[in-house]
Amino acid sequence: MYFGLGVGDKRKRSTERLIATEVTAIPGVWIDIDIAGVGHKSERLPANINEAMAIVNSLPLSPSILVASGGGLHVYYLFKEPFELNTPEEKADAAWLVLGIQTMFKQKNLQYDIDATHDLSRVLRAVGTTNLKYNLPVQVIECSKYRYSFEDLEQYAAEPTITQISGTVTAFERRPTDRPAKCIIDNCKFIQHCRDNASILSYSKWLTMLTNIGRASDGVEVAHELSEPYGKYSIAETNKKLYQALELMNPTSCQYIQKVLGFEGCPTGDCGVKNPAGWSLDASKGKVFKVQDALVVIQNIVSITPEAVFSDETMTACGILYQYEPATFQSFRNNLRGKVQLREFDKTLKSYIPKKDNSFRMVQDGERPTLQESLPDCPVDLFIPSGYSFQEEGISVLVEDKPSALCPFPIVISKIFQDSSTTDQSFEISWKSGGYWHKLKESRTTIMNAAKLVNVGRGFPVSSGNARKYIQWFDALLKVNDGNFEIVTEHSALGWHGNVYSLITQNESVGAYGEWLRFTQEVRGNTYLRFVIDSSFAAPLLKFLNCRTYTVYIWKKSGSGKTAAGYVALSIWGDPDKLKHSFNATANNIMGKLAKNNHTLFVIDDKQQSEIPQQSISKLIMDLTNGEEKGRCNIDGSLKAQRKWNTVIYSTGEEPITTMNDKAGVRNRLLEIEGAPFDNENTAKAVYAWTKEHNGHAGRNFIEGVLQVGGQYIKELHQYYVYSIKVEFPDIPLPYIDALAVQATADDLAGQFVFGNDGCTMDVIRAIARDLATREENNDAERAKEWILSWLAQHQNKFYASSSGDTYGRFDANTAIVLAEVLDKALLDNGFSPKKLRKELAEIGFILTKQIKKGERLVTMFVWQMNGRGAQCYFIPGGAPNPALP
């Protein structure tokens, strides 16, 4: 059993260990000293523990802990407290210290071989276990109180030589077939730039150069040569940065060099490698140099003759091009027509075509090879999971110590997309087939579900037989590369995402902004149309104003341009046909769409086309203007993520959407306006084609202006209009005042940023406010009072002794005495709540109350028995119709 010397915050399986970049703290420094024995091949080892202790005594500091490992000594020098590695620089300093201390031991004991165990991800045998090589216990033989600071140890750290730097890197495998740095320098414009500007090179470019040039066969030496012209060059500092670049970093990519460093000297198109270090790879790791050399041979043929073509050099080059560059090969073969015998050429070629290496080399525990090291044209460079192989011929996995084919082609997760609104993820999957990389994007839940993955289609080579194998590979790839994937934030919902307002790519601007502006200004003189347009500009302002969602409902006979007004308002943001919605959907469906159209005018057109009953319409208005859905559970009982929105809703109809019995809560969330947005029906009809041709411009200008003036300005403007409207219209409900102030703010800002300060803001608000219900008209008790008086008049014949059938009560002078059971049922049938209304009706004096004593307390009675007996009744003074029936 082994334990990791470095600790980290990433969960690992028992068979996995941290990589150096995942280590977040180390307890101290360490050295592993092997003692000669059957299990060790080297003959240059201390013969016994006494000789091993002589090595330990090379450092004039006492060890904190000495452990007999069964085959040697583990020596620990612990810090006073764990050294936390929160930055790349701290990781580099820690790794450099461990390397420096181990280098000191090596330099003072040259007669012995001491293994390099300086990597931060190092694991050593755990105390209390058994070393099965020797059947000896791993045990502590000395434990002291000595603890050290970083500086205490740093003063004894030795500087590794240039040769030692090259030989001590453990993060990637050096191979005999690696090419010299000259291959990188000759082919990479960026490295040439670093060489030519070495004396003034920025730190970022210098470190980028080191991560690439250092991986060549002679890269460490050449890195020093390229760094030396810099005025503050030092061997020690360059060695330290080289070690960081090679041990703790991947070779910096061409994409980073171009997009982050801003280097513009790269050739147009793909140069054949993903990072400059790729130029030092030979054919055992990629095809770049085989193809490059083959092209040189073909291009150097001066005259096409049988002697030149059938030479061993030319045929070798043709075999390589046939294998790796079929299009180039075919072009060369076409040039041979009439000059050589093509049948003989094709026959000879067969023996020169390179055989593909179909052996699958499995990644072993502790190794960290990357996808691009195995396949240079792979679109992403990630670590290959332990127990897998990845190459041109496909992917294999180790099963019971034997390789088993997982899929017959290379396939990877090349990008992860994160939805900013829902945190849902999508994967970009890339696979190579027919010599080309193909891509598709699907949700994570689809990719990681075998049944769903089979149905992906679009050329993705998956079946029920191999879907689970793909998922096994994807899962291993995700785990070993946690934190290494490129995460792309997506906005599936419209509206604000932080300080960014998303219009979604489907809503790109179309047509001419000037043409849209000309037409809109012509028709915007209509107060109702202008108010609808203001609603569209108001939606993104709610974020700044802490105002709730509200609805603008315009009703009028057909042909008055109500729907056309919605099209004009939506054309501010994009294509109205893509943005409008319908009442013919479930409430859950509408709320889902609202959440995806946050801070953007939500148009539902029109009520008359809906089959939803009036009672459900009222409930829908309440649900939509709540701004969030009610909590819902998943099948497993867990709570679903709650969808939320904050916007303005616009809807239309041919009659009012509310009725007398709708509660004040519904009415106060609804600006219900009777009006015709267009004076000319033909103009209204022209809107549909016009908004299709010109849309998506004004919204961008408006948002730019909003961001420029800032939230505080918008709040102050809103408060100014709240005050102005309160002064002029003190009788309208406060929710109306708040919504009208938002509309006024939107009109004002739209004038500044879109229409050129055309004024009239308060004139528009006044015209609308005059049509809105007052607080008294929206009061539930007042409306119930009017309804009850109307009901009494309609059913007065049920209140006389001479009436046939059931009676509802009786009239006593001008007082209506109504059976409570009858009136309560009538109220309920018409959407009123009798229990809630009793107190409110009593407060306005519409029904009589009396108090009775129950024990020690007085109880107010809203209904009681007439003459102390019989059924419960309401007593309504003035409720008897006038004149009464005989």
pLDDT, tens digit, for every residue of 125-145?
888 898 877 788 999 999 998
What φ, ψ does residue 829 adopt, rounded to 5°?
A: -60, -20
Q: Which residue did the predictor score with more confidence, 9 or 711?
A: 711
Band of pLDDT at residue 90, cut at 50, 70 and 90: confident
pLDDT score for 286: 41
**How far is it, in rounded angstroms, from Cα 497 to Cα 500?**
5
For 364, half-sphere exposure in the C-beta direction (CA atoms, 13 angstrom radius) is 3
Only one residue has tokens 């012509």, namely 522
pTM score, whole prediction: 0.47
pLDDT score for 457: 60
Per DSSP bridges, beta strands 123-125 and 65-68 are unpaired
Q: Alpha helices of 169-234 — where are they, by DSSP H?
A: 181-187, 189-196, 203-213, 219-227
Band of pLDDT at residue 662, cut at 50, 70 and 90: low
Which of 608, 612, 602 minimizes the C-alpha distance to 557?
608
**In the chain, what percentage of residues exceed pLDDT 70?**
84
Looking at residue 581, the DSSP 8-state letter turns out to be B
Cβ-contact 229, 199 below 8 angstroms:
yes
> What is the greatest pairwise CA distance in the chain?
131
pLDDT, tens digit, for every residue of 810-848?
888 888 888 888 888 888 887 777 887 888 888 888 888
Looking at the predicted structure, is the pLDDT value of residue 506 above 50? no
Q: Which residue did the predictor score with more confidence, 72 or 456?
A: 72
For 862, half-sphere exposure in the C-beta direction (CA atoms, 13 angstrom radius) is 18
Cβ-contact 91, 85 below 8 angstroms:
yes
Looking at the predicted structure, is the pLDDT value of residue 171 above 70? no
Structure tokens at 581: 């919605």
The lowest-confidence range among 51-65, 255-269, 425-439, 714-728 is: 255-269
Looking at the predicted structure, is the pLDDT value of residue 280 above 90? no
Looking at the predicted structure, is the pLDDT value of residue 743 above 90? yes
pLDDT score for 504: 46
Looking at the predicted structure, is the pLDDT value of residue 166 above 50? no
pLDDT score for 615: 57
**How far is it, in rounded angstroms, from Cα 679 to Cα 333?**
75
**How far is it, in rounded angstroms, from Cα 379 to Cα 254?**
12
Which of 373, 481, 499 minimizes the C-alpha distance to 427?
481
Structure tokens at 185: 């320098």
Q: Which residue did the predictor score with more confidence, 838 or 289?
A: 838
Looking at the predicted structure, is the pLDDT value of residue 281 above 50? yes
Band of pLDDT at residue 336, cut at 50, 70 and 90: very high
The lowest-confidence range among 148-157, 318-327, 613-622 is: 613-622
Structure tokens at 710: 């800032």
pLDDT, tens digit, for every residue of 2-46?
888 888 877 776 667 777 778 889 999 999 988 888 777 778 888
Averaged pLDDT, 584-606 = 78
**Average pLDDT across the chain, whole number:** 81
> What residues contact residue 666 under an 8 Å CB cut-off, 6+ apart?
618, 621, 622, 658
Q: What is the CA radius of gyration of the chain?
A: 41
Residue 20, SS3 per DSSP = helix
Averaged pLDDT, 149-157 = 87
